[in-house]
Amino acid sequence: MDIIEKIGDTITEKGKVAADKAKELAAIANLKSQISTCEEVMKKNYLEIGKIYFEQYSDMPEPPFEKQCEAIKNSQRAIADLQEKIDQLKTK
């Protein structure tokens, strides 16, 4: 086997290794994308559960949720106050 054939074989082999690695990386990226999608679905549903809980039980939350329910109520009051200030400024 002459040197040119050896170089050609080496290039072919290295090209195959690179192509295999690219396929592997693409498969990993695809799987990570699927994981991200699942995590987004979970996040959305966790938020929805929290919203439903707050709407139904915020007046008498269970002890582990008292702090968060109070923080939400405080934020709602602050938003209402700020919106009122905006409305007052618009009417001037």
Residue listed under structure tokens 């040119």: 4
CA distance 75 to 24: 47
Residues 81 and 53 in one domain: no
pLDDT in tens, 34-80: 999 999 999 999 999 999 999 999 999 999 999 999 999 999 999 99
pTM over 0.85: no
52, 69 in Cβ contact below 8 A? Answer: no
Sequence-distant (6+) residues with CB within 8 A of 1 are: 9
Q: Quick one: 32 and 71 in the same domain?
A: no
**66 and 51 in a common domain:** no
Domains held by the chain: number: 2
